[in-house]
């Protein structure tokens, strides 16, 4: 009987430690390094999107599109 109680206690302890590690983020992948890496990726993405947007603004409007716009007037 005492052996089964120890096994149950051991199981509860491991579940508890798993829950604790998920709450502090160490096993869930949200530790301080992960947050910094995520911010870095977000900043890189923002720079890339701004670059594409700026390039698009510099492009000329195609003549066919200008002709269609002229027909609307």
* 14 belongs to a structural domain: no
pLDDT at 17 over 70: no
Q: What is the pLDDT of residue 58?
A: 96
Q: How far apart are CA 31 and CA 51, in angstroms?
A: 31
pLDDT at 7 over 50: no
Residue scoring higher pLDDT (67 or 36): 67
Mean pLDDT of 14-42: 66
Q: Which tokens go with 6?
A: 């120890």
Number of structural domains in the chain:
1
* Position 30 confidence tier, pLDDT thresholds 50, 70, 90: low
Domain, as residue range, for 59: 32-73
* 38 belongs to a structural domain: yes
* 9 belongs to a structural domain: no
Contact (CB, 8 A) for 25 and 31: yes
Q: What is the pLDDT of residue 68?
A: 95
* 42 belongs to a structural domain: yes
* 25 belongs to a structural domain: no
* 2 belongs to a structural domain: no
Q: Which tokens go with 40?
A: 């870095």
């Amino acid at each position: 009987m005492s052996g089964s109680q120890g096994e149950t206690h051991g199981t509860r302890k491991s579940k508890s430690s798993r829950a604790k590690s998920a709450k502090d983020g160490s096993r869930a992948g949200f530790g301080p390094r992960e947050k910094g890496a995520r911010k870095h990726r977000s900043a890189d993405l923002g720079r890339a999107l701004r670059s594409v947007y700026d390039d698009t603004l510099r492009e000329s409007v195609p003549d066919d599109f200008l002709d269609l716009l002229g027909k609307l007037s």
